[in-house]
Amino acid sequence: MPLLSNLDETFSHAEDLNTIDKLMSFVDPELLQQAYDLSGVATVRRRRLPLDSVVFTIVGMSLFRNDPVWDVANKLDVSLPGKNRFVAPSAVVQARQRLGEEAVGHVFKLMAQRAFGEYAFEQWCGLNVLAVDGVMFRAQDTNENLDTFGCDRNAKGDNPYPQVRMCSLMETSSHLLLASEFDSRDVGEMSLAERLVPSVPDNSLTLFDRGYYSLGLLHLWMTKGVNTHWMLPARKDLQYTVKHQLSDHDAVVTLKTSPQARKKFSGLPETLEARLTSYEVDGKTYRVLSSMVNALQFPYDEVVDVYVQRWEIELGFREMKQTMHQAKLTLRSKKPEMVRQELWGLLLAYNLIRMMMLDAVKDMPELSPSRLSFGLCMRHIIVFFLSTIPETVTKLPVHYEYLMESLRMMRLPDKRPDRYYPRAVRKKPTKYPTKKKASQLN
């Protein structure tokens, strides 16, 4: 359902609305209340920053990366009228602590579930294509963050910055995040990926990186629901037995599970069937392993082309870290609970932008939302929130339609099929001048 499908009815008779009413029109109040109930938070007395205002302030932390948190609340004008025009910095800190992390996390999860069920996405062989991958975030250098999240270690000692590991599930055609889990850096991506299993929708294909090869995890993923398939590159040392050959480059194989895996994952059988497909690109042979053993439903030509979509999740991470956070690697918050709250706010802000981009192309099947510039769309959305003053909020449907028209203009250039960037190790820069050869000195 589009974000503003009921605006005409909502604002047709509105006369006295403020900025928080404008922002609340993008989020279902019942959804927010459900998130508060699940997290066990509630506002007993009337405050200048009610829970809804705090949620939008946390979202604004990722949209206005250079501004202090208290200034974000004042910029969005989400506080209720009081003696002072502006909100004090201490009030914002107390409001964030009162809200906690779980409430923002539930808001993100509930909105992601609803968005996936209401928007139409591109499909491949009748399946929604998803991708799973991990990313690291750096937290403030405090003792609490260091004890909770841990840090990287090198030959000279510890890296002073704590690190948070995140693993996300993304719909590749729209870059919409369906679920995300994060923990300390000592918790591996495989463990975080297991926590994503309950969020896997039916009739989907999930693309994994090579490092996620675990027969226990893949079997858990495949048996979670109806037609929940997986695909990942095959390891060079993969041990298998060919069950039957589909073609010269395609076969159904049998994989043997280990006793340790069967002990860790209950219900894991001794063997699993999978499909091993090989193909050649520029003279180099690649192999992918998948659960799609039905060659009639999933033809060879289709299977060899789908895995390239896994890189879409890398673009999504870049949009969050480079565009939204403006390449500022360190998060703002100094306490672990607030760090997690800030990350949930980042994911929520990212999905809200993606949902508006989906709204912009909903009547244009020839235009994919991933072909719109995320950075330019984000700037227009921010201007929309700041320029639509409360006195004109009754005309919000008109303003929103103008925003949709402007977003559709932010198209990216067509991809060049002949452009190829092979992966390589970048040379480490040095602060010392390079010594010249003897021949150059003469």
Q: What is the pLDDT of residues 64-96, one digit of tens each?
A: 998 998 888 888 877 766 666 778 888 889 989
Residue 14 falls within a domain, yes or no?
Answer: yes
Residue 56 falls within a domain, yes or no?
Answer: yes
Residue 375 falls within a domain, yes or no?
Answer: yes
Q: Indicate the pLDDT class of residue 10, thresholds 50, 70 and 90.
A: very low
Q: Is 141 exposed, middle or buried (0-12, 13-18, 19+ CB in 10 A)?
A: middle
387 has a pLDDT exceeding 90: no
pLDDT for 351: 95
Sign of CA dihedral 78, 84, 90, 91: negative
More confident residue, 10 or 100: 100
Residue 427 falls within a domain, yes or no?
Answer: no
Residue 133 falls within a domain, yes or no?
Answer: no
The total number of structural domains in the chain stands at 1
Contact of 177 with 168, CB cutoff 8 Å: yes
pLDDT for 12: 45
Contacts of 311 (CB under 8 A, 6+ apart): none
Give pLDDT tens digits for 107-157.
Answer: 999 999 999 999 989 999 999 999 999 999 999 999 999 999 988 876 666
14 has a pLDDT exceeding 50: no
Q: Which residue has the tokens 């499908």?
A: 5
What are the Cα distances from residue 221, in Å, to 231, 257, 414? 11, 15, 34
Q: Indicate the pLDDT class of residue 16, thresholds 50, 70 and 90.
A: very low
Contact of 309 with 233, CB cutoff 8 Å: no
pLDDT for 366: 86
Give pLDDT tens digits for 158-186.
Answer: 567 899 999 999 999 999 999 999 999 99
Helices (H) and strands (E) in the chain, counts: 17, 11
Can you give the residue range of the structural domain that contains 361? 7-105+336-408
* Mean pLDDT of the 316-337 span: 92
Residue 199 falls within a domain, yes or no?
Answer: no
Residue 252 falls within a domain, yes or no?
Answer: no
Contact of 132 with 313, CB cutoff 8 Å: yes
User: CA–CA separation, 275 vs 346, rounded Å?
Assistant: 37
pTM: 0.88
Q: Quote the mean pLDDT of the chain.
A: 86
Q: Reduce the DSSP state of residue 65 to 3 states and report it.
A: coil
pLDDT for 158: 59
User: CA–CA separation, 384 vs 216, rounded Å?
Assistant: 47
Residue 71 falls within a domain, yes or no?
Answer: yes
User: CA–CA separation, 421 vs 441, rounded Å?
Assistant: 36
Percent of the chain with pLDDT over 70: 86
